[in-house]
Amino acid sequence: MFIAATANFYNFMDGINGIAALSGVICFLLSALFNVFYSSIDPFTFISLVAAGACMGFLPMNFPSARVFMGDVGSLFLGFLFASVVLVNSFSINEFLVYISFLFPFYCDEITTMAVRLYSGDNILHAHRKHLYQLLVNEMGISHLKVTIFYAMVQAVYGITMLIFYSFSDTLLLIMVLFLFFVLFAFFSFAVRQGKKIPFFIRKSP
């Protein structure tokens, strides 16, 4: 179920230029670094590095302007691969929590969007354009460049922070940090959906 959910989440988030590829670079690179510094160098470490390199090579063709698109096959595969890396290398709940933090903005966006749609009485099986990143681009008119970089920054901060806290070997601490990250993302998502002005995303007047 985790693999299927992650693969589909990754696919659903591949809706603006660069977001899937740049997120792939970050999540796979962080996964490889986690193995090198805290676990062991295994085949999935090299697979993660290859995947990060592939995403990095694809990025110039898809960001900031898209000449080539990843498509469903590419995004589903990246989601499947990342979920596989997580499950194969998670020998404890602590490791699992750290690994999922490497793609946490994607999980947060999907979960908060699903919650909003359920609350609104929408059929969550129907296609929609209500993800946070879609609202930022389509409703607020923010550029693909800015939104993609924002997601990448949040993803990197979440992942690196969890890598640091992992050294304390405290499961409750990791859960609390991850929960705090989710709450912050949820509040930000709620603010955007309520039409609040977000400083980083305010467009300059022509």
- Return binding residues for Mg(2+): 11, 72
Q: What length does the chain have?
A: 206
Rounded Cα distance between 29 and 140, Å, is: 31
In the block, which residue shows the tokens 């993609």? 148
Using CA atoms, how far residue 63 sits from 9, 40, 147, in Å, is 20, 33, 12
Rounded Cα distance between 39 and 58, Å, is: 29
Rounded Cα distance between 143 and 149, Å, is: 10
Rounded Cα distance between 206 and 132, Å, is: 25
Closest of 19, 73, 83, 14 to residue 47, by C-alpha: 83
Provide the annotated binding site: 11, 72
Q: How would you label 135-165 residue by residue, b for 16+ Cβ within 10 Å and e otherwise? A: bbbeeeebebeebbbbbbebbbebbebbbeb
* Residue 89 near residue 83, CB atoms below 8 Å: no
